[in-house]
Amino acid sequence: MNNSSFDTDVLIIGAGIIGLSIARELAKKGIDVIIVEKNRFAGTEISSRNSEVIHAGIYYPKDSLKTKFCVEGNRKLYNYCEKYKIPYNKCGKLIVSTSNEEINKLYKIKENTDEIGLVDVRFLSKKEIFNLEPELQCSEALFSPTSGIIDSHTLIQSLLTELQSFNCTVAFNSKVEKINPESNSLMTEVHGNGENINIHSKCLINCAGLSSQNIAKKISSLNTDLIPKQYFAKGTYFTSTKKAPFKHLIYPVPENHGLGIHFTLDLSGKSKFGPDLEWINTEEYSVDISKRKKFYDQIKKFWVNIEEKGLVPDYAGIRPKISGPNDEPADFIIQFPQQNNINGLVNLFGIESPGLTASLSIASEVGSRINEIL
């Protein structure tokens, strides 16, 4: 194997939406950035296996990072889409109750949005619901006008193109194997393309998604108490051969660890239903046709004309959770050097939904603190 060595200001692990967004933010400031990515292409893990929804920040506690970055990220992402011609549709979303018990949950969601200050989230009258979605079955509906959908693949391509224009290196087929903090830098050993590369960086940002904990465990002097326990929560999607009658996103009231099997469109007009929630131990993306009945039963609650046989397995993604099935949902974790006691090290853990929406805002946060890190 050939050996080589590089120096850079910042090394980013992972060319998912988070790593690319942070790299762009830093490269725009004139900072020298390298991204290493173990796969052949960008964004092939969590970032291309999600609902592609631009969320409004409705569900999370007021003082959480999820709320802060989602609310800011929502505005930033729409602005980015406008500026760089990324396909999107600010179609709005209805969160619906289909039983008495769910009505109370809907009122709790409304209380939360009032507390956060999302003034445009409101209950619809029966007539408004009918006018917006004549085939929708529900007792009450909350409307969020700033929720929408985005073509995440074009977004990823656009970020890559921008990075190219800043001369930022994105090294594919490059897997991080070892990290040793040194006196004034971090040394990261990367294997790939028949080479063994040592990269010395003043700052190392771990945005490895499902592998963030594995990467953190490779950092020789990191206190392991700072690495949160990892849980994988798989989410499966089905599509429908029958054209869905909805123009808005339709969500049931959320479950403890997921938003429930909802209806979304993609920008080609294809209907998607999902994701469900299944706790798994290893990364795998099979789609189990035997889940069809469960999907049918859930969807039928708000779309009575759904046909079970028309539901076709589509794809699956995995949420990088840091809270387990019996825990309360956890917030995003971004550990800066002050928290992890290693100069130059930034670790991101648990960047599940709404991470796509929050991406540009998480990037701004890291960008605003980079001078104190370098």
Ligand X SMILES: Cc1cc2nc3c(=O)[nH]c(=O)nc-3n(C[C@H](O)[C@H](O)[C@H](O)COP(=O)(O)OP(=O)(O)OC[C@H]3O[C@@H](n4cnc5c(N)ncnc54)[C@H](O)[C@@H]3O)c2cc1C
Measured from the CB of residue 14, what is the shortest distance to ligand X in angstroms? 3
User: Is 356 among the residues that bind ligand X (CB under 6 A)?
Assistant: yes
Please list every residue from 171 through 190 that binds ligand X, using CB under 6 A: 175-176
Please list every residue from 213 through 242 that binds ligand X, using CB under 6 A: 215, 235
Complex with ligand X: residue 114 or 177, whichever CB lies closer: 177
Q: Give the span between the Cα atoms of 195 and 318, in whole angstroms.
A: 30
Cis peptide before 354 (omega within 30 of 0): yes
Please list every residue from 24 through 53 that binds ligand X, using CB under 6 A: 36-39, 43-47, 49-53
Measured from the CB of residue 81, what is the shortest distance to ligand X in angstroms? 13
Measured from the CB of residue 336, what is the shortest distance to ligand X in angstroms? 17
User: Is 277 among the residues that bind ligand X (CB under 6 A)?
Assistant: no
3-class secondary-structure state, position 104: helix
Q: Phi/psi at 68 (nearest 5 deg)?
A: -55, -50
Give CB contacts under 8 A, 24+ apart, made by 217-226: 218/176, 218/177, 218/178, 218/179, 219/179, 219/181, 219/342, 219/345, 220/178, 220/179, 220/180, 220/181, 221/181, 221/342, 222/340, 222/342, 222/345, 223/340, 223/341, 226/335, 226/339, 226/340, 226/347
Give the pair of three-digit tokens for residue 209: 């998604």
Complex with ligand X: residue 57 or 344, whichever CB lies closer: 57
Binding residue (CB under 6 A) for ligand X from 9, 14, 204, 231: 14
Compute the 3-state secondary structure of the chain and give helix, strand, coil in percent, each to the nearest 5: 35, 30, 40
Measured from the CB of residue 39, what is the shortest distance to ligand X in angstroms? 5
Complex with ligand X: residue 107 or 347, whichever CB lies closer: 347
User: Is 347 among the residues that bind ligand X (CB under 6 A)?
Assistant: no
Complex with ligand X: residue 31 or 70, whichever CB lies closer: 70
Binding residue (CB under 6 A) for ligand X from 207, 265, 311, 370: 207
Complex with ligand X: residue 45 or 72, whichever CB lies closer: 45
Residues 6+ apart with CB under 8 A from 37: 14, 15, 19, 170, 171, 172, 173, 174
Measured from the CB of residue 317, what is the shortest distance to ligand X in angstroms? 3
3-class secondary-structure state, position 266: coil
Measured from the CB of residue 290, what is the shortest distance to ligand X in angstroms? 19
Complex with ligand X: residue 283 or 307, whichever CB lies closer: 283
Measured from the CB of residue 323, what is the shortest distance to ligand X in angstroms? 15
HSE (CB half, 13 Å, CA atoms) of 236?
18
Complex with ligand X: residue 110 or 321, whichever CB lies closer: 321
User: Is 71 among the residues that bind ligand X (CB under 6 A)?
Assistant: no
Q: How far is CA 221 from the centre of its chain?
A: 29
Complex with ligand X: residue 63 or 177, whichever CB lies closer: 177
Report which residue type is found at 101.
Answer: E
Complex with ligand X: residue 133 or 276, whichever CB lies closer: 276
Binding residue (CB under 6 A) for ligand X from 10, 12, 17, 253: 17
Give the pair of three-digit tokens for residue 95: 């969160």
User: Is 160 among the residues that bind ligand X (CB under 6 A)?
Assistant: no
Cα angle, residue 56 at apex, residues 326 and 127 outer, rounded to 5°? 105
Asked if residues 12 and 207 have their Cβ atoms less than 8 Å apart, the reply is: yes
Stretch that binds ligand X, among 92-100, 180-188, 202-210, 304-312 (CB under 6 A): 202-210
User: Is 148 among the residues that bind ligand X (CB under 6 A)?
Assistant: no
Please tell me what DSSP assigns to residue 50: S
Residues 6+ apart with CB under 8 A from 220: 178, 179, 180, 181
Residue 16: strand pairing partners: none
User: Is 350 among the residues that bind ligand X (CB under 6 A)?
Assistant: no
Complex with ligand X: residue 19 or 344, whichever CB lies closer: 19
Residues 6+ apart with CB under 8 A from 289: 313
Binding residue (CB under 6 A) for ligand X from 19, 228, 329, 350: 19
Chain contacts with ligand X (rule: CB under 6 A) = 13-19, 36-39, 43-47, 49-53, 55, 175-176, 207-211, 215, 235, 275, 317-319, 351-357
